[in-house]
A = this chain, B = another copy of it.
């Protein structure tokens, strides 16, 4: 079926927002001049502000601020590809921190089994499932995840196009008096695009591929901490993957005719090739590996006793120890297989998660988005319940 291209919203090539966020509340208007007073309605959240934190290395190349007052950030050209990339770089920290936190616990399979922890009841605040069964058994993870999403949804988390629920059918109707988010039309507001949600396949691959790769076998009874770490990791991964929508919109705007031509021919491979930037992907992989190596280990622990002897030059000792530890980390990070890895997560595993899961899923989202953006349904391989090239285990390079 070919959609009518005219139903896709026509968007100006570059939008200066009055908000840093992809969604703004009703007191701001994406197309009006920035308000003088800061807009103090509550918004949910966005990783986009990450680049606003002081950082020598992640400063986006194409950022633009327009502050209402000296200290508030309310305007940004968020569809700049440079800006999006800097956001994705900051998300790497959140993802890697979350995976390191999860990796400290054993696999704890029981928390993923329906009925593994019986007697939990109904997650508070959640709506009943589509089939109306109130007392169905859930896995411990699902119970906590549904409860967490129910809580977050009432402060409008899932009204933001950046956020996608894992259990959308269990979200309650909001009954409080917060206004609806009035989100500017950054993405094509085709309903099918809004509905693109890769969380089902992400959730499957997280449990079947990622957890076995990062967590040691067995059970350590840390079930509560385990599922909270799972939820944090899944939410961070979900945000990263669905950023593909914004990446795709940005890429579309830089070459609308090119993508339209390929979509008209139904050429998914061509779309995939046109949106792929291999150099950037390689940078992402190297960076992910080294970040995992850096964040996943204790700096200079083995040298601390020497430092503690207080022989008058603590700084030199600390610096030398840090450099030595970093070299060890980097050597281990670059070893293939990573079997000599002594940190908390094998850096080659983190790289593989990026190479085999995160990047491919992001690109699947992009392809599906671009097909819909150009007025056609995506090919079946790019449905949101699968990976276009399936991955059933990680194979570190």
Contacts and interface: CB of A to CB of B under 8 A. Distances in A.
Interface of A: 19-21, 24, 38-50, 52-58, 67, 69-74, 89-90, 93-94, 97, 100-101, 103-106, 110-111, 116-121, 123-125, 140, 143-144, 147-148, 150-152, 154-157, 172, 175-178, 216-226, 228, 232, 279, 282-283, 286-287, 290-291, 293-295, 297-302, 304, 307-308, 314-315, 318-319, 321-323, 325-327, 329-331, 333-334, 342-344
Given A43-B224, A319-B327, 9 more contacts: A42-B140, A46-B225, A48-B222, A49-B106, A73-B221, A93-B344, A279-B308, A286-B314, A294-B295
A298 B218 contact: no
Given A49-B221, A104-B49, A304-B287, A326 B322 contact: yes
A149 to B, nearest CB: 11
Given A104-B50, A155-B144, A304 B322 contact: no
B294 A290 contact: no
B46 A219 contact: no
Copies, count? 2
B287 A301 contact: yes
Nearest to A58: B298
Interface centre among A282, A286, A329 (most CB of B within 10 A): A286
A344 B53 contact: yes
Contacts of A175: 121
A124 B105 contact: no
30 contacts: A21-B222, A40-B110, A40-B219, A42-B111, A42-B117, A44-B223, A44-B224, A45-B226, A46-B221, A52-B106, A53-B103, A54-B216, A54-B342, A54-B344, A56-B342, A93-B344, A118-B177, A121-B177, A124-B150, A155-B224, A279-B308, A287-B298, A293-B299, A293-B322, A299-B326, A318-B334, A319-B327, A321-B330, A322-B333, A323-B330
A156 B213 CA distance: 29
Contacts of A287: 298-301, 304
Contact of A222 (B46, B155, B176, B331): B46
A120 B334 contact: no
Given A105-B49, A330-B318, A119 B57 contact: no
A21 B140 contact: no
Nearest to A48: B222
A210 to B, nearest CB: 16
B221 A344 contact: no
A223 B176 CA distance: 17
A364 to B, nearest CB: 25
